Amino acid sequence: MDTSIDLHLMRQIVFDDEKLLEEMIGEWIADTESRVIQMDLHFREKNQLIFKNLHDLKTNLSMISCHDLVQKCQLMIDTSVSTEKLMDEKAWSELLHEINQLIEMMKMKIV
């Protein structure tokens, strides 16, 4: 995965205060991890709420300008709507892997 992130928006929100930025990144990580757990549960249950979860995750990803994963989430939503099927296991596993890698990248930002 060659995902790029940009903390410019977060930096603007905290007025370039490094301590606040670290706290905000920590909150982003906790929130994103929580969303991933909920999404995985909904995927395993074949619950339609996964689409709301994906939409909410796009907001988190937008906060760090991670446009490639935002687009991937939207593609998964669109594909599922057009085929009237939940995403397949392979697509879900790939997305989950990329999100978990992204979370690890963000953790390195606060070390």
In the numeric block, which tokens belong to residue 31? 């929130």
Mean pLDDT of the chain: 92
Q: Is residue 3 part of a domain?
A: no
Per-residue pLDDT band at 85 (split at 50, 70, 90): confident
Task: Report how far residue 72's alpha carbon sits from residue 14's, in angstroms, rounded to the nearest whole number.
Answer: 28
SS3 101: helix
Domain count within the chain: 1
pLDDT over 90 (residue 43): yes
List the domain range (segments joined by +) for residue 91. 8-108
Q: Is residue 2 part of a domain?
A: no
Residue 69: which of 105, 41, 42 has the closest Cα? 105
> Of 1-5, 71-75, 104-108, where does mean pLDDT reach its minimum?
1-5
pTM over 0.85: yes
Task: Report how far residue 2's alpha carbon sits from residue 13's, in angstroms, rounded to the nearest whole number.
Answer: 26
- Which pLDDT value is given to residue 92? 93
What CATH number corresponds to the domain at position 24? Answer: 1.20.120
The radius of gyration of the chain from alpha carbons, rounded to an integer in Å, stands at 14
pLDDT over 80 (residue 3): no
